[in-house]
Amino acid sequence: MHIGDILNDKCVDTIVSVRGWVYRSRESGRLIFTVIRDSTGIVQVVVEKGVVSSEEFELAKRATIESSIEVEGKCSKEPKAVTGYEIHATKIRIYQIAENFPITKDKSDEFLLDIRHLWLRSREMTAIMKMRDTILDSIRDFMREKDYHEVDPPMFVGGMVEGGSTLFEVPYFGEKAYLTQSSQFYLEAFMFSLESVYTISPSFRAEKSRTRRHVTEFSHYEAEAAWVQNQQMMDLEEELIVFIAQRLLSSNKEELEVVKRDLNKVKAIEKPFYRYRYEKVIDIGRQKGLQLSDMADLGEKEERAITEDFDKPMFVYNFPTQLKPFYHRQDPEDPSHVLNHDLLAPEGYGEVIGGGERIWDKDELISRMKSDNLNPEDYQWYVDLRSYGSVPHSGFGLGVDRLLTWLAGLDHINKAIPFPRTIRRLKP
Partner RNA sequence: GCCGCUGUAGCUUAGUUGGUAGAGCACCCGGCUGUUAACCGGGAGGUCACCGGUUCGAGCCCGGUCAGCGGCGCCA
Stretch that binds RNA, among 2-10, 139-147, 209-217, 312-320 (CB under 7 A): 209-217
Q: Are 237 and 203 in contact (CB under 8 A)?
A: no
Pair 118, 103: CB distance under 8 Å: yes
Q: Which of 211, 229, 246, 367 binds RNA (CB under 7 A)?
A: 211
Q: Which member of 54, 108, 264, 291 binds RNA (CB under 7 A)?
A: 108
- Closer to RNA by Cβ: residue 79 or 389: 79
Would you say 216 or 252 has its CB closer to RNA? 216
Rounded to a whole number of angstroms, the minimum distance from the CB of residue 301 to RNA is 4
Q: Of 94-102, 125-133, 146-154, 278-286, which segment contacts RNA by CB under 7 A?
A: 94-102
Which residues ranging from 219 to 278 are in contact with RNA (CB under 7 A)? Answer: none
DSSP labels, 26-67: EEETTEEEEEEEETTEEEEEEEEBTTB-HHHHHHHHH--TT-
Under the binding rule (CB under 7 A), the answer on residue 333 touching RNA is: no
**Burial classification of residue 334, based on how many CB atoms lie within 10 Å of its CB (0-12 exposed, 13-18 middle, 19 or more buried):** exposed
Among 17, 40, 64, 246, the residue binding RNA under the rule CB under 7 A is: 64
Tell the smallest beta-carbon distance from residue 61 to RNA (Å).
9
**Interaction between residue 54 and RNA (CB under 7 A):** no
DSSP per-residue string spanning 156-218: EE-S-SSSSTTPPEEEETTEEEEE-S--HHHHHHHHHHHSEEEEEEEEE------STT--SEE
User: Segment 384-403, which members bind RNA (CB under 7 A)?
Assistant: 397
Listed residue (395, 382, 399) closest to 339, CA to CA: 395
Q: For the chain, how are helix, strand and coil distributed in percent, rounded to 5? A: 35, 30, 35
Out of 166, 229, 231, 367, the residue judged to bind RNA by CB under 7 A = 166
Least Cβ distance, residue 413 to RNA (angstroms): 10
Stretch that binds RNA, among 102-110, 237-245, 264-272, 277-285 (CB under 7 A): 102-110
Residue among 17, 68, 209, 231 that touches RNA (CB under 7 A): 209
Residue 134 φ then ψ, to 5°: -60, -40
Count of Cβ atoms closer than 10 Å to residue 129 Cβ:
17
In the bound complex, what is the minimum distance in angstroms from residue 365's beta carbon to RNA? 14
Are the C-beta atoms of 80 and 115 separated by less than 8 Å? Answer: no
Q: Answer for the pair 423, 208: CB distance below 8 angstroms, yes or no.
A: yes
Binding mask 167-206 for RNA (x = CB under 7 A): --------------xx-xx-------------------x-
230 near 317, Cβ under 8 Å?
yes
Report the candidate in 34, 17, 1, 28 with the shortest Cα–Cα distance to residue 75: 17
The 8-class DSSP code of residue 232 comes to H
For residue 368, state whether it binds RNA (rule: CB under 7 A): no
Q: For binding to RNA (CB under 7 A), which residues are involved?
A: 24, 26-31, 33, 44, 46, 64-65, 78, 80-82, 86, 88, 100-111, 113, 161-163, 165-166, 181-182, 184-185, 205, 207-212, 214, 299-301, 325, 354, 397, 412, 422, 424-425
